[in-house]
Each structure stands twice: as C-alpha cells, then as structure tokens.
C-alpha cells in the first residue's frame, strides 16, 4: 500500500495524466465545434452527440475520484428515491463547502447515467476557462454574471431552450451563490439578521432568485428537486490536489426528493420554501457533526468501469506518440530540442496547476456577502 501511495504521488505520472486530460479536452472541444453544423439540421442529434463528448471529458475527472484515489461515496436515502435516479429531469440543490463537491456530484451523475447531460447555472467567468468553460458552452450551460438586471434575459432564454432536452438532465444549483468560508458565513449571517431570517450554522444564506427562476422556467420539464447535503467522514477537508495525489476520502451524501407539485408556485412562497429547506439542511449537518452520519438508510451505488476504460483509451491514444517523441529527443543529443521539450513540460505543469487552482477554496467564490452587506447599509 505504501508503494502504491508513493507511485500515485510521483509528479511525472500526474503530469502525464494531466497531459491526457488537457489534450483530449482540446480534441473534444474541436469535435464539438465541428458539430455546430448539425444544430440547424437536427438540434436533438447535436445535443446527444455533445452529451457523449462531454462524458468523455468529465469521466476522466470522475475516474480520478473513483479509481485513482478510491474515494467512497455513500448515499443516505430510500430505495424509492434511488429507483428514480437517471429516469427524470431534476434540479439538484447541493451545499457548496468543499473543493470537490462538484466531483462528488458528477460521480453520482455518472453512476446513474446522466453525467454527459448534467447542467449547472455557472458564473460567467468560467466561460473563459479552457476545456471546462468551452465544453459547457457547447452543452448549452446557462452562464450568469450574478447581476439580475444583466442576467434576466440570458437566464430566461437559456433555461427556456432546455425545456425539450432529449436526455434526462440533472440541473445543479449552488443556491448559496459562492463557496462557504468562515468570513463569508459571518457576513451572510449579518444579512440574515438584517432580514429577520433564522441564522444558519453550516451554510450561507441561500440566494433564492436563481432557484425560483430555474423552477419557474423548467416547470413541466423537471419533475422533482433533489436536496443533497454532502459531508466527509472524520472531518476530512478534501481537495482536488489530494485526489490527484491519490488520497482516499469517504463522502456521505444525504438525498431527499421533493416532487415539483409540492413546491409553492408563488415566487415569494417558493423563496420561503427554500429558506426552510436550508434550515433543514443545517439540522442534517448538525446531526452529522454529532453522530458522524446522516439519518436514514444507506445505499452504496457501485462504480462502473466506463470511466476507467475511457481514460485508458485516451491514454493509449495520446501517450504512445508522446513517449516516442520524448525518447527521440533524448537520443538526439540536440540541446535545442531537449531545452524545448523541458520548456514544454514546464508550461504543461503550470497549465494543469492553474486548472486545479480553479477549484481551490481560497481562489474561488464571489464578493456576494460584501455586496449584500453594502445594500443593507
């Protein structure tokens, strides 16, 4: 086990895996660009193709979690809810506390066959991020600047386009608007106090506009809302860098299903429903903090081999010519070629580290709390 952990920590292996992800992602983005000619002819065919192209990229990240780090994901829910996974359009509400919360969500999407068609209400800045933002663009992801006056038309039109989506989609919403930190939590609770709302211990105050708008626009398409509350055993604080280094985590996810017809249609009442939901999420986290588990029965969905097979396909396709080229450079004895190859490796490692940095807590989030506080003053 110690030897395996050491092998996983080797930078050269991590660099090669990063190389496979980046280059395969660029190839996938190029193919996605080529599929644009299909859109005017057959929109649904375009969507089905892009779902599978996106799966080929995202599943490489899921492979890191499932096969490389061996992280375990346990669901706390009933079998009736599990039986509906992957068989309906739904909105997912997930707490935003960890660097890899999105990866745990994607893992569940993969295990129930909706990874390629998963959606998110994403901040506009991510559109500029290579691979991630570009792939989302072709998937018709809705991007917003989190300024409602500017976002209204974009969000409504983007959501309206998804009403006839041919694949079952899980639409992920981070209703807190930004990732949890102690500073933002303190500011958020000041806002809660000023608005006469109950304070939360483990969450930020939810931003209701995104949820109420998404539910309103997709009503008739989505049939349920899944409330997902994520935590980790032994008070672990997982990071994507830890996953890359092969560190194993144990994720627990409480999942509750709410049929759309049980959620108030009125915007104000719907917003109150969301606030109540977050109070319940807070109570669930309090239970987990005391007992080390969520209430209810558990389900451990088995991991599927497709993520590993997909990565092996890309690794075989891309690493063989790279290794041959590296050997050719080494035996050439040309200082210019050797220096050029070293510079290439340095640039590649920096690029990969920048991609990892997108998920880091200290580098993510918004000034939402500060803006809200200013509005109150």
Q: Which of 100, 114, 219, 211 is nearest to 162 (CA)?
A: 219
Helices (H), the chain: 2-9, 11-34, 43-63, 79-82, 101-111, 132-138, 148-161, 182-194, 208-218, 240-244, 267-291, 306-332, 335-357, 368-376
Choose the CATH number for 38-306 among 3.20.80, 3.40.5, 3.40.50, 3.40.1130. 3.40.1130
Q: To 10 degrees, the CA torsion angle through 276, 145, 174, 132?
A: 170
CA separation for the pair 290, 288 (Å, rounded):
5
Q: For 246-303, what is each residue's pLDDT tens digit?
A: 999 999 999 999 999 999 999 999 999 999 999 999 999 999 999 999 999 999 999 9
CA separation for the pair 206, 146 (Å, rounded):
13
Q: 120 pairs with which residues across the strands?
A: 172
Residues 6+ apart with CB under 8 A from 236: 249, 250
Q: For 147-161, what is each residue's pLDDT tens digit?
A: 777 788 888 899 999
Domain definitions of the chain by residue range: 38-306
Q: What's the pLDDT score for residue 101?
A: 92
Tell me the whole-structure pTM to 2 decimals.
Answer: 0.88
What number is the average pLDDT over the span 355-367?
A: 52
pLDDT surpassing 90 at residue 306: yes
What 8-state DSSP symbol labels residue 97? -
């Amino acid at each position: 086990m110690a030897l395996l952990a050491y092998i996983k920590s080797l930078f050269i292996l991590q660099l090669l895996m990063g190389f496979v992800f980046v280059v395969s992602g660029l190839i996938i983005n190029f193919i996605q660009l080529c599929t644009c000619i299909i859109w005017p002819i057959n929109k649904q065919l375009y969507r089905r193709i892009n779902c599978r192209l996106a799966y080929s990229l995202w599943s490489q990240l899921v492979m890191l979690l499932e096969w490389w780090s061996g992280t375990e994901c346990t669901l706390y829910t009933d079998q009736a809810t599990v039986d509906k996974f992957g068989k309906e359009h739904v909105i997912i509400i997930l707490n935003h506390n960890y660097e890899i919360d999105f990866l745990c969500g994607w893992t569940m999407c993969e295990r129930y066959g909706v990874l390629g068609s998963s959606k998110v209400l994403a901040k506009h800045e991510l559109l500029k991020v290579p691979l991630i933002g570009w792939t989302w663009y072709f998937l018709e992801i809705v991007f917003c600047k989190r300024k409602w006056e500017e976002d209204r038309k974009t969000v409504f039109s983007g959501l309206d386009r998804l009403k006839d989506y041919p694949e079952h989609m899980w639409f992920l919403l981070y209703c807190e608007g930004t990732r949890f930190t102690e500073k933002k939590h303190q500011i958020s609770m000041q806002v809660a106090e000023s608005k006469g709302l109950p304070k939360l211990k483990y969450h930020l105050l939810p931003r209701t506009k995104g949820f109420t708008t998404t539910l309103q626009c997709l009503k008739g398409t989505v049939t349920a809302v899944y409330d997902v509350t994520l935590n980790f055993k032994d008070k672990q604080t997982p990071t994507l860098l830890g996953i890359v280094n092969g560190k194993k985590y144990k994720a627990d996810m409480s999942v509750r299903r709410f049929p759309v017809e049980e959620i108030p249609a009125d915007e104000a009442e719907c917003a109150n429903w969301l606030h109540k939901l977050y109070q319940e999420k807070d109570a669930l986290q309090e239970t987990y903090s005391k007992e080390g588990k969520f209430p209810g029965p558990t389900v451990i969905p088995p991991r599927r081999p497709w993520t590993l097979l997909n990565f092996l396909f890309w690794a075989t396709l891309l690493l063989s010519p790279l290794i041959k080229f590296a050997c050719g450079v080494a035996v050439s004895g040309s200082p210019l070629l050797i220096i050029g190859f070293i510079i290439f490796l340095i640039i590649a490692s920096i690029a990969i580290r920048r991609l990892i940095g997108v998920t880091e807590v200290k580098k993510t989030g918004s000034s939402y709390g500060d803006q809200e506080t200013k509005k109150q003053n």
